[in-house]
Chain A
Amino acid sequence: MEVTQRERVLEEELAGLRARITEVEAQAAAKEQQLERYAADLRETFKQERERSAQLRDSYITTVRALANAVEARDAYTGKHAERVAAYGLALARALGSRLADDPEIEFGFLLHDIGKVAVPDAILYKPEPLTEPERHLMERHTIIGVQILRGVDFLGEAKAVVRSHHERWDGNGYPDGLARDDIPLAARVFAVADTLDALTTDRPYRPASPLCASREIISSLAGTQFDPAVVEAFGGVPDGDLERIRTEIQ
Protein backbone atom coordinates (compact mmCIF):
# COMPACT_ATOMS: atom_id res chain seq x y z
CA MET A 1 0.00 0.00 0.00
CA GLU A 2 2.69 2.43 1.05
CA VAL A 3 4.83 1.47 -1.90
CA THR A 4 2.01 2.17 -4.34
CA GLN A 5 1.41 5.55 -2.71
CA ARG A 6 5.09 6.42 -3.07
CA GLU A 7 5.11 5.19 -6.63
CA ARG A 8 2.14 7.38 -7.46
CA VAL A 9 3.86 10.45 -6.00
CA LEU A 10 7.01 9.69 -7.94
CA GLU A 11 5.04 9.16 -11.12
CA GLU A 12 3.31 12.46 -10.66
CA GLU A 13 6.62 14.18 -10.10
CA LEU A 14 8.00 12.49 -13.15
CA ALA A 15 5.04 13.59 -15.26
CA GLY A 16 5.50 17.12 -14.00
CA LEU A 17 9.18 17.07 -14.91
CA ARG A 18 8.41 15.64 -18.34
CA ALA A 19 5.90 18.40 -18.96
CA ARG A 20 8.44 20.97 -17.81
CA ILE A 21 11.05 19.50 -20.19
CA THR A 22 8.60 19.60 -23.09
CA GLU A 23 7.81 23.22 -22.27
CA VAL A 24 11.49 24.20 -22.06
CA GLU A 25 12.20 22.38 -25.30
CA ALA A 26 9.35 24.18 -27.01
CA GLN A 27 10.69 27.53 -25.77
CA ALA A 28 14.17 26.66 -26.97
CA ALA A 29 12.81 25.64 -30.38
CA ALA A 30 10.87 28.91 -30.60
CA LYS A 31 14.03 30.90 -29.82
CA GLU A 32 15.93 28.94 -32.41
CA GLN A 33 13.28 29.64 -35.06
CA GLN A 34 13.30 33.30 -34.13
CA LEU A 35 17.08 33.48 -34.52
CA GLU A 36 16.87 31.73 -37.88
CA ARG A 37 14.38 34.35 -38.97
CA TYR A 38 16.83 37.08 -38.00
CA ALA A 39 19.59 35.31 -39.89
CA ALA A 40 17.39 35.00 -42.98
CA ASP A 41 16.50 38.70 -42.89
CA LEU A 42 20.12 39.63 -42.37
CA ARG A 43 21.13 37.56 -45.39
CA GLU A 44 18.45 39.19 -47.56
CA THR A 45 19.39 42.65 -46.35
CA PHE A 46 23.03 41.97 -47.10
CA LYS A 47 22.23 40.74 -50.61
CA GLN A 48 20.11 43.80 -51.30
CA GLU A 49 22.78 46.06 -49.89
CA ARG A 50 25.39 44.46 -52.15
CA GLU A 51 23.14 44.84 -55.17
CA ARG A 52 22.38 48.44 -54.35
CA SER A 53 26.00 49.35 -53.87
CA ALA A 54 26.80 47.77 -57.26
CA GLN A 55 24.00 49.83 -58.82
CA LEU A 56 25.27 52.93 -57.09
CA ARG A 57 28.81 52.32 -58.34
CA ASP A 58 27.37 51.84 -61.78
CA SER A 59 25.48 55.11 -61.68
CA TYR A 60 28.59 56.90 -60.45
CA ILE A 61 30.71 55.59 -63.28
CA THR A 62 28.11 56.34 -65.95
CA THR A 63 27.58 59.82 -64.55
CA VAL A 64 31.30 60.48 -64.49
CA ARG A 65 31.66 59.12 -68.05
CA ALA A 66 28.84 61.38 -69.23
CA LEU A 67 30.57 64.34 -67.63
CA ALA A 68 33.89 63.38 -69.22
CA ASN A 69 32.18 63.02 -72.61
CA ALA A 70 30.57 66.43 -72.19
CA VAL A 71 34.00 67.96 -71.67
CA GLU A 72 35.31 66.21 -74.77
CA ALA A 73 32.31 67.00 -76.94
CA ARG A 74 33.98 70.35 -77.67
CA ASP A 75 37.06 68.60 -78.91
CA ALA A 76 36.25 66.75 -82.11
CA TYR A 77 39.51 64.94 -82.64
CA THR A 78 40.19 63.48 -79.21
CA GLY A 79 37.12 61.25 -79.45
CA LYS A 80 37.00 59.06 -76.41
CA HIS A 81 40.37 60.22 -75.17
CA ALA A 82 39.32 60.24 -71.52
CA GLU A 83 37.94 56.70 -71.62
CA ARG A 84 41.02 55.41 -73.39
CA VAL A 85 43.39 57.17 -71.01
CA ALA A 86 41.43 55.75 -68.10
CA ALA A 87 41.79 52.24 -69.54
CA TYR A 88 45.53 52.72 -70.21
CA GLY A 89 45.96 54.17 -66.73
CA LEU A 90 44.25 51.21 -65.08
CA ALA A 91 46.34 48.75 -67.13
CA LEU A 92 49.46 50.62 -66.04
CA ALA A 93 48.40 50.68 -62.39
CA ARG A 94 47.83 46.92 -62.52
CA ALA A 95 51.26 46.39 -64.13
CA LEU A 96 52.79 48.48 -61.33
CA GLY A 97 51.22 46.05 -58.88
CA SER A 98 49.62 49.06 -57.28
CA ARG A 99 46.29 48.84 -55.55
CA LEU A 100 45.32 52.03 -57.36
CA ALA A 101 43.58 49.94 -59.98
CA ASP A 102 41.10 48.65 -57.38
CA ASP A 103 40.12 52.15 -56.32
CA PRO A 104 37.17 53.42 -58.38
CA GLU A 105 38.09 57.01 -57.44
CA ILE A 106 41.25 56.73 -59.50
CA GLU A 107 39.34 55.78 -62.64
CA PHE A 108 37.04 58.76 -62.00
CA GLY A 109 40.11 60.98 -61.78
CA PHE A 110 41.47 59.61 -65.06
CA LEU A 111 38.14 60.24 -66.75
CA LEU A 112 37.70 63.75 -65.39
CA HIS A 113 41.32 64.95 -65.63
CA ASP A 114 40.50 67.74 -68.11
CA ILE A 115 37.16 68.86 -66.72
CA GLY A 116 38.66 72.26 -65.93
CA LYS A 117 39.00 72.87 -69.67
CA VAL A 118 35.34 73.87 -69.75
CA ALA A 119 36.60 77.18 -68.39
CA VAL A 120 39.22 77.65 -71.09
CA PRO A 121 37.96 79.79 -74.04
CA ASP A 122 37.80 78.06 -77.44
CA ALA A 123 40.13 80.71 -78.88
CA ILE A 124 42.89 79.50 -76.59
CA LEU A 125 42.01 75.79 -76.52
CA TYR A 126 42.08 75.53 -80.34
CA LYS A 127 44.64 78.20 -81.17
CA PRO A 128 46.90 76.73 -83.83
CA GLU A 129 49.78 79.12 -83.11
CA PRO A 130 51.88 78.93 -79.93
CA LEU A 131 50.17 80.46 -76.92
CA THR A 132 51.24 83.79 -75.49
CA GLU A 133 52.34 83.88 -71.87
CA PRO A 134 48.97 85.01 -70.46
CA GLU A 135 47.16 82.47 -72.67
CA ARG A 136 49.43 79.67 -71.50
CA HIS A 137 48.80 80.74 -67.92
CA LEU A 138 45.04 80.57 -68.51
CA MET A 139 45.38 77.16 -70.16
CA GLU A 140 47.36 75.79 -67.23
CA ARG A 141 44.68 76.99 -64.84
CA HIS A 142 42.45 74.14 -66.05
CA THR A 143 44.02 71.87 -63.43
CA ILE A 144 43.07 74.14 -60.55
CA ILE A 145 39.68 75.01 -62.01
CA GLY A 146 39.01 71.27 -62.40
CA VAL A 147 39.56 70.72 -58.69
CA GLN A 148 37.34 73.69 -57.89
CA ILE A 149 34.56 72.28 -60.04
CA LEU A 150 34.75 68.92 -58.24
CA ARG A 151 35.33 70.38 -54.79
CA GLY A 152 31.99 69.42 -53.29
CA VAL A 153 31.78 65.93 -54.78
CA ASP A 154 32.80 63.68 -51.91
CA PHE A 155 32.76 60.37 -53.73
CA LEU A 156 35.55 61.54 -56.03
CA GLY A 157 38.09 61.63 -53.16
CA GLU A 158 41.51 60.83 -54.62
CA ALA A 159 40.28 61.58 -58.14
CA LYS A 160 40.84 65.24 -57.40
CA ALA A 161 44.58 64.61 -56.95
CA VAL A 162 44.71 63.36 -60.56
CA VAL A 163 42.78 66.38 -61.79
CA ARG A 164 45.12 68.79 -60.02
CA SER A 165 48.46 67.08 -60.65
CA HIS A 166 48.13 65.42 -64.05
CA HIS A 167 50.49 67.95 -65.66
CA GLU A 168 53.23 67.70 -63.06
CA ARG A 169 56.60 66.34 -64.23
CA TRP A 170 59.00 64.00 -62.44
CA ASP A 171 61.76 66.66 -62.68
CA GLY A 172 59.59 69.32 -61.07
CA ASN A 173 59.06 71.40 -64.22
CA GLY A 174 55.36 70.72 -64.53
CA TYR A 175 52.33 72.65 -63.32
CA PRO A 176 50.35 73.88 -61.39
CA ASP A 177 52.43 73.26 -58.24
CA GLY A 178 55.85 72.32 -59.64
CA LEU A 179 55.83 69.10 -57.61
CA ALA A 180 58.66 66.63 -58.21
CA ARG A 181 59.21 62.89 -57.83
CA ASP A 182 57.28 61.24 -54.98
CA ASP A 183 55.56 64.49 -54.07
CA ILE A 184 53.41 63.96 -57.16
CA PRO A 185 50.51 61.63 -56.30
CA LEU A 186 51.16 58.17 -57.77
CA ALA A 187 47.86 58.19 -59.68
CA ALA A 188 48.92 61.42 -61.40
CA ARG A 189 52.33 59.94 -62.29
CA VAL A 190 50.60 56.91 -63.80
CA PHE A 191 48.17 59.15 -65.62
CA ALA A 192 50.94 61.25 -67.20
CA VAL A 193 52.30 58.21 -69.02
CA ALA A 194 48.85 57.01 -70.08
CA ASP A 195 47.97 60.50 -71.38
CA THR A 196 51.12 60.75 -73.50
CA LEU A 197 50.66 57.23 -74.82
CA ASP A 198 47.16 58.10 -76.02
CA ALA A 199 48.29 61.40 -77.54
CA LEU A 200 51.07 59.67 -79.46
CA THR A 201 48.94 56.79 -80.74
CA THR A 202 46.02 58.97 -81.89
CA ASP A 203 45.83 60.80 -85.24
CA ARG A 204 45.97 64.59 -84.91
CA PRO A 205 45.19 67.17 -87.60
CA TYR A 206 48.85 68.10 -87.79
CA ARG A 207 50.38 64.59 -87.65
CA PRO A 208 49.41 60.93 -87.98
CA ALA A 209 49.44 58.54 -85.06
CA SER A 210 52.80 57.00 -84.08
CA PRO A 211 53.05 53.23 -84.08
CA LEU A 212 53.08 51.64 -80.65
CA CYS A 213 56.76 50.66 -80.74
CA ALA A 214 57.82 54.21 -81.61
CA SER A 215 55.57 55.56 -78.86
CA ARG A 216 57.19 53.18 -76.38
CA GLU A 217 60.62 54.53 -77.34
CA ILE A 218 59.54 58.12 -76.91
CA ILE A 219 58.04 57.40 -73.50
CA SER A 220 61.16 55.49 -72.39
CA SER A 221 63.34 58.42 -73.38
CA LEU A 222 61.33 60.66 -71.03
CA ALA A 223 61.81 58.45 -67.95
CA GLY A 224 63.40 60.46 -65.16
CA THR A 225 62.58 63.83 -66.76
CA GLN A 226 58.88 63.95 -67.56
CA PHE A 227 57.92 60.56 -66.13
CA ASP A 228 58.46 58.46 -63.03
CA PRO A 229 61.02 55.80 -64.11
CA ALA A 230 59.17 53.12 -62.12
CA VAL A 231 55.95 53.82 -64.02
CA VAL A 232 57.79 53.76 -67.35
CA GLU A 233 59.36 50.44 -66.40
CA ALA A 234 55.95 49.01 -65.53
CA PHE A 235 54.66 50.35 -68.84
CA GLY A 236 57.40 48.34 -70.60
CA GLY A 237 55.83 45.23 -69.08
CA VAL A 238 52.30 45.86 -70.43
CA PRO A 239 51.88 43.60 -73.50
CA ASP A 240 51.29 45.29 -76.87
CA GLY A 241 48.10 43.28 -77.29
CA ASP A 242 46.52 44.82 -74.18
CA LEU A 243 47.26 48.35 -75.38
CA GLU A 244 46.13 47.63 -78.94
CA ARG A 245 42.86 46.26 -77.66
CA ILE A 246 42.16 49.44 -75.69
CA ARG A 247 43.06 51.61 -78.69
CA THR A 248 40.80 49.75 -81.12
CA GLU A 249 37.90 49.08 -78.76
CA ILE A 250 37.52 52.60 -77.38
CA GLN A 251 37.08 54.81 -80.45
Chain B
Amino acid sequence: MNSAVLIVDDDPFIRRLIATTLEDVAGFELIQAADGEEALALADESKPRIVFLDVDMPKLNGLDACRALREREDLAGTRIVMLTAGVQHERAAHDAGADLFLTKPFSPLDLLRLVDELAS
Protein backbone atom coordinates (compact mmCIF):
# COMPACT_ATOMS: atom_id res chain seq x y z
CA MET B 1 0.00 0.00 0.00
CA ASN B 2 1.18 3.46 -0.90
CA SER B 3 2.15 5.86 1.83
CA ALA B 4 0.21 8.91 0.69
CA VAL B 5 -2.35 10.95 2.61
CA LEU B 6 -4.98 12.70 0.53
CA ILE B 7 -6.46 15.86 2.05
CA VAL B 8 -9.74 16.95 0.48
CA ASP B 9 -11.33 20.26 1.46
CA ASP B 10 -12.59 23.19 -0.59
CA ASP B 11 -10.98 25.61 1.86
CA PRO B 12 -7.28 25.94 0.99
CA PHE B 13 -6.62 27.20 4.51
CA ILE B 14 -7.83 23.94 6.07
CA ARG B 15 -5.90 21.87 3.52
CA ARG B 16 -2.68 23.72 4.27
CA LEU B 17 -3.32 23.52 8.00
CA ILE B 18 -3.74 19.74 7.91
CA ALA B 19 -0.78 19.31 5.58
CA THR B 20 1.46 21.43 7.80
CA THR B 21 0.34 19.55 10.88
CA LEU B 22 1.07 16.17 9.33
CA GLU B 23 4.31 17.14 7.63
CA ASP B 24 7.10 14.66 8.48
CA VAL B 25 4.88 12.89 11.01
CA ALA B 26 4.92 9.43 9.52
CA GLY B 27 6.80 9.95 6.29
CA PHE B 28 3.58 10.31 4.30
CA GLU B 29 3.39 12.08 1.01
CA LEU B 30 0.69 14.73 1.41
CA ILE B 31 -1.62 15.32 -1.53
CA GLN B 32 -4.39 17.92 -1.67
CA ALA B 33 -7.66 18.13 -3.56
CA ALA B 34 -10.26 20.92 -3.55
CA ASP B 35 -13.39 18.86 -4.31
CA GLY B 36 -14.74 15.34 -4.62
CA GLU B 37 -14.07 14.98 -8.32
CA GLU B 38 -10.45 15.98 -7.99
CA ALA B 39 -10.19 13.66 -4.99
CA LEU B 40 -11.33 10.64 -7.01
CA ALA B 41 -8.86 11.45 -9.79
CA LEU B 42 -5.97 11.80 -7.34
CA ALA B 43 -6.97 8.68 -5.39
CA ASP B 44 -6.78 6.81 -8.67
CA GLU B 45 -3.19 7.91 -9.18
CA SER B 46 -1.78 7.74 -5.69
CA LYS B 47 -3.79 4.96 -3.98
CA PRO B 48 -3.60 6.82 -0.67
CA ARG B 49 -3.35 5.08 2.68
CA ILE B 50 -5.55 7.70 4.36
CA VAL B 51 -8.08 10.16 2.93
CA PHE B 52 -9.38 13.16 4.84
CA LEU B 53 -12.70 14.15 3.30
CA ASP B 54 -14.60 17.34 4.03
CA VAL B 55 -18.39 16.90 3.82
CA ASP B 56 -19.45 20.20 2.24
CA MET B 57 -17.72 20.69 -1.08
CA PRO B 58 -18.69 21.90 -4.56
CA LYS B 59 -19.04 19.54 -7.56
CA LEU B 60 -18.96 16.24 -5.69
CA ASN B 61 -19.56 16.45 -1.94
CA GLY B 62 -17.65 14.42 0.63
CA LEU B 63 -20.36 11.83 1.27
CA ASP B 64 -20.75 11.03 -2.44
CA ALA B 65 -16.98 10.96 -2.89
CA CYS B 66 -16.75 8.58 0.06
CA ARG B 67 -19.31 6.22 -1.47
CA ALA B 68 -17.47 6.32 -4.79
CA LEU B 69 -14.14 5.53 -3.09
CA ARG B 70 -15.72 2.64 -1.19
CA GLU B 71 -16.83 1.03 -4.45
CA ARG B 72 -13.23 0.80 -5.58
CA GLU B 73 -11.73 -2.58 -4.81
CA ASP B 74 -8.18 -1.37 -5.35
CA LEU B 75 -8.74 1.12 -2.52
CA ALA B 76 -10.08 -1.43 -0.03
CA GLY B 77 -7.16 -0.76 2.33
CA THR B 78 -7.64 3.00 2.25
CA ARG B 79 -8.89 4.48 5.50
CA ILE B 80 -11.36 7.33 5.07
CA VAL B 81 -11.66 10.01 7.73
CA MET B 82 -14.63 12.33 7.28
CA LEU B 83 -14.23 15.95 8.36
CA THR B 84 -17.67 16.77 9.69
CA ALA B 85 -19.13 20.06 10.83
CA GLY B 86 -21.06 18.50 13.68
CA VAL B 87 -22.93 15.48 15.01
CA GLN B 88 -25.57 15.74 12.27
CA HIS B 89 -23.00 14.45 9.77
CA GLU B 90 -21.63 11.57 11.78
CA ARG B 91 -24.40 9.14 10.95
CA ALA B 92 -24.28 10.05 7.26
CA ALA B 93 -20.49 9.73 7.25
CA HIS B 94 -20.76 6.27 8.74
CA ASP B 95 -23.43 5.22 6.27
CA ALA B 96 -21.32 6.48 3.38
CA GLY B 97 -18.56 4.09 4.45
CA ALA B 98 -16.19 6.39 6.34
CA ASP B 99 -13.97 4.61 8.88
CA LEU B 100 -13.63 7.52 11.24
CA PHE B 101 -14.64 11.13 11.53
CA LEU B 102 -13.07 14.25 12.88
CA THR B 103 -15.37 17.07 13.95
CA LYS B 104 -14.49 20.60 12.90
CA PRO B 105 -12.96 22.58 14.48
CA PHE B 106 -10.68 19.59 14.98
CA SER B 107 -7.98 19.20 17.59
CA PRO B 108 -4.53 19.00 15.95
CA LEU B 109 -3.47 16.55 18.64
CA ASP B 110 -6.41 14.28 17.77
CA LEU B 111 -5.43 14.59 14.12
CA LEU B 112 -1.85 13.57 14.87
CA ARG B 113 -2.86 10.68 17.12
CA LEU B 114 -5.29 9.42 14.53
CA VAL B 115 -2.69 9.42 11.77
CA ASP B 116 -0.18 7.81 14.09
CA GLU B 117 -2.68 5.06 14.82
CA LEU B 118 -3.73 4.52 11.20
CA ALA B 119 -0.10 4.51 10.10
CA SER B 120 0.93 1.72 12.41
Contacts and interface: CB of A to CB of B under 8 A. Distances in A.
Interface of A: 27, 30-31, 33-34, 36-38, 40-41, 44-45
Contact of A30 (B105, B107, B108, B109): B105
B76 interface: no
Interface string B103-120: 011111100000000000
A36 B14 CA distance: 13
Contacts of B104: 30, 33-34
5 contacts: A30-B105, A31-B11, A34-B105, A37-B105, A38-B17
Contacts of B108: 37-38, 41
Contacts of B13: 31
Interface string B24-62: 000000000000000000000000000000000000000
A33 B11 CA distance: 14
A30 B55 CA distance: 14
Contacts of B106: 34, 37
B40 to A, nearest CB: 25
A45 B109 contact: yes
A227 to B, nearest CB: 52
Q: Which of B11, B14, B105, B109 has the most CB of A within 10 A?
A: B105
Interface string B57-73: 00000000000000000
A38 B107 CA distance: 7
B105 to A, nearest CB: 4
Contacts of A33: 104-105
A41 B107 contact: yes
Contacts of B17: 34, 38
B11 A37 contact: no
Nearest to B111: A41
Contacts of B14: 31, 34
Nearest to A31: B13
A45 B11 CA distance: 27
B23 to A, nearest CB: 14
Contacts of A45: 109
Interface string B81-120: 0000000000000000000000011111100000000000
Contacts of A36: 105
The 6 closest A-B pairs by CB, nearest first: A34-B105, A33-B105, A37-B105, A41-B109, A41-B108, A38-B108
A38 B18 CA distance: 11
Contacts of A41: 107-109
B109 A44 contact: yes
